[in-house]
Structure 1
Amino acid sequence: MTEPTIKFLPEDLRNTHSIWLQKYKKNIVTKYGEDGIIDKIFDVIGVENKVLCDVGAADGKHHSNTYNLLKNKGWKGILFEPTKQRYKLLKELYKENEQVLPLFEYIGLDKHTDLDFHLDQLREKIPRNFDFLSIDIDGCDVHIWADVKRYRPRVVCIEFNPCISLDIYFLQARDLSVNQGNSLLAICEEAKDMGYELVATTQLNAFFVDRNDFDKFEILDNSPKAMHFLEDKTTHILMTYDGHLFLAGRTHHPWKHYEIKDDNIQVLPPEYRKWKADGRFVFATQDKEKAL
């Protein structure tokens, strides 16, 4: 078969007035400028108690959204990490800092394991409206956030899946054994239901503020397409008249690095991928045709 010509030409629809926080990107230990954006967000809304919670804190430093606040800004924090080796590094990092409490704890999805439950055990250390919540658990991030009912973090940083198009609502199953991630659109919609608004993004993280503080940022359009550009990071499947499927955009998994090829995704076998000159399409069996 003669191959078609396919070009993936993503359009940057970001609104320059909506993404003004991008110019404050700066890395102390973060990867995509999150440290600078966090600083500027709190410049805008002010700091009330300098208390944070980090769910999925890892080793506490590598690409951490909270390290700079805890180490350099005098903040207090509760850090949750359920992986033994990472927790060991996390505890070592803050062993001389009494303002930081690393916990070898697993945040679950029921009333006996959710974040509210854990914070209730530490209510003398964390106010109801603590300043900053960071969630990075590669899956049920939104569900963990949505379960927070008795506390009201003023700013939330949450990871999204950058491989999913901005016009697709994808909210992964409420299952901690699943690690699929959530689309930026899904997170924004869920955040709105919780009373939060998007103010900034980086390649992997989205920043939300309580709706009461949103007007301070003077962002008129905070839709995902106005705030973020995925470039060529998404994978698109094209379906042609004859039933052939083609790929456009990203064809390699960004972390596992396997390649997806057109041959891997065909639903119809080759003998059925034909379009008859008389307007009939070969379908279902080799000896039977159904007219359109």
Structure 2
Amino acid sequence: MGVWTRVPRGMRDRLTGVLPEWWWSWLHQLREIDVDREWQGGAILRAAHPSLAAPTTGLAALRAAELRVHSQNGEDGILAYLLDRIGPTTRDVVEFGIGDGTECCAANLVLTFGWSAHLLEANADDARAAAAFYAERAGDRVHVDHTAVEPDTVDALLSQHVSPVFDLLSLDIDGNDYWVLEALGAVRPRVIVVEYNASFGPERSVTIPYTRGFDRYAAHASGFYHGASVTALARLGQRKGYVLAGCDSRGTNAFLVDAGAASSAGIEAVSPAEAFAPLFERAHLSVEEQFRQIAHLPLAEV
């Protein structure tokens, strides 16, 4: 990115208006190479020299725990931190939207810690790849379903596979996440990690209206129109008896912890405004510039 900042501002503005969205995503993915090197290196140094670390609490402690082993961002470290704080019980994880299974929130818990998992993926090719991946590495501890989860199917899909109370639910379906989480009632995860849409900003309490089989890129070419804001998810979590423990620094996920478990572990609620981080992959536009691209599309205030 140093080379980019040396391009004259006027030329940068012209390129910004001409180059397609995928080009910017690619540029920021290249930038992640340096970001990841610093990020992972910092985690290694903190682990090697714990006496040097200043005391941290709350959101700072959560973000200090960020580490990627198999997750897309720092979810692996954050989840290990939260689950260690509250103490695991069933050691079961359920995840909606896993791709081919190699890069998801469940993978580290399954492959590193020996957990069991029930994984759901709407894309048939990805579901087959995930089933093969886990069959070889985890055997019958992992069950992969090729299915799309909807509000009217979520309880039936889960109640037959997990205990009424289990340790972790990860929700990343790029669309009706809010409505699926709202409908969940037959089972109760102790920790929920759910993707929020940073393009909605930290203040708006909104979600897309429910549309069965929603496709974010069919809805808008930018891919910015999907899911719910962090404030909407925090409010929903509060109504269901969860506290917002924080969000990752890449602006991707919100982490909700059962209020009783959080209280026992000394995990305090963080406000959505404090927890919010802009999405790293969209950093070439401000949050409000992102929102302006989709402001004409319908939103439900919740």
TM-score, structure 1 as length reference: 0.70
Report the structure number with the largest CA radius of gyration.
1
User: Who is 1:73 aligned against?
Assistant: 113
Q: Report deviation, 1:55.
A: 0.9
- Partner letter of residue 69 of structure 2? I
Task: Looking at secondary structure, tell me which structure has more helix per residue.
Answer: 2
Corresponding position: 1:163 with 2:224:
no
Q: How far has the Cα of 1:32 moved from its partner?
A: 2.2
Among 220, 231, 250, which residue is 1:185 paired with?
231
Which residue does 1:54 correspond to in 2? 95
Aligned-pair CA distance for 1:214: 1.9
Aligned to 2:155: 116
Asked if the contact 2:201/2:288 (under 8 Å) is kept, the reply is no
Tell me which residue corresponds to 1:103. 145
Q: State whether residues 162 and 233 of structure 1, in contact with CA within 8 Å, keep that contact through their aligned partners in structure 2.
A: no
Would the alpha carbon gap of residues 209 and 252 (structure 1) be closer, same or farther in structure 2, given more than 3 Å must change? same
- Structure 2, gaps ≥5 residues long: 1-55, 217-225, 297-302
Give the equivalent residue in structure 2 for 1:148.
184
Taking structure 1 as reference, are residues 223 and 98 closer, same or farther at Cα in structure 2, changes over 3 Å only?
Answer: same
Deviation per residue, 1:173-196 (Å, 9 max, x gap): 122344322110111111111111
Q: Would you say the 8 A contact 1:160–1:184 is kept in 2?
A: yes
After TM superposition, give the deviation of residue 78 of structure 1 in Å: 0.5
* Aligned-partner Cα distance in 1 for 2:265–2:87: 12
- Name 2:128's counterpart in structure 1: 88
Identity of counterpart residues, as a percentage?
25
Alignment of 1:225-240 (within 5 A): 225-230=273-278
Q: Is the 8 A contact 1:171 1:182 kept in 2?
A: yes
Matched residues in 1 for 2:118 and 2:287: separation?
A: 38
Q: Is the 8 A contact 2:127 2:146 kept in 1?
A: yes
Q: Does the 8 A contact of 2:247 with 2:277 survive in 1?
A: no
Which of 244, 247, 258 does residue 198 from structure 1 map onto?
A: 244
**Corresponding residue for 1:249?**
286
> Displacement, 1:222?
1.1
Identify if the C-alpha distance between structure 1 residues 232 and 58 changes in structure 2 by more than 3 Å, giving closer, same or farther: closer
Report the 3-state secondary structure (helix = DSSP H, G, I; strand = E; otherwise coil) of the residue aligned with 1:163: helix
Closer/same/farther in 2, CA of residues 66 and 142 from structure 1, 3 Å limit: same
SS at match of 2:166: coil
Q: Structure 1 regions of 5+ residues with no counterpart?
A: 1-15, 236-247, 266-292
Judging changes above 3 Å, is the alpha-carbon distance between structure 1 residues 221 and 104 closer, same or farther for their aligned structure 2 residues? closer
Distance 1:121 1:33 in 2: 30
One-letter amino acid of the counterpart of residue 160, structure 2: Q
Alignment of 1:28-47 (within 5 A): 28-47=69-88
In structure 2, C-alpha distance between the alignment counterparts of 1:162 and 1:67, rounded to whole Å: 24
Residues 121, 249 of structure 1: alpha-carbon distance in 2 compared, 3 angstrom cutoff: closer
Amino acid across the alignment from 1:101: H
Q: Give the direction of change, closer, same or farther, for the CA distance of 1:165–1:72 in structure 2 (3 Å limit).
A: same
Given that residues 120 and 145 in structure 2 are in contact (C-alpha distance below 8 angstroms), is that contact kept between their aligned partners in structure 1?
yes
CA RMSD of aligned residues (A): 2.6
Q: Secondary structure at the match of 1:29?
A: coil
CA spacing shift, 1:226–1:219, aligned 2, 3 Å: farther
**4+ runs of 1 displaced by more than 4 Å?**
231-235, 250-254
C-alpha displacement of 1:18: 3.0
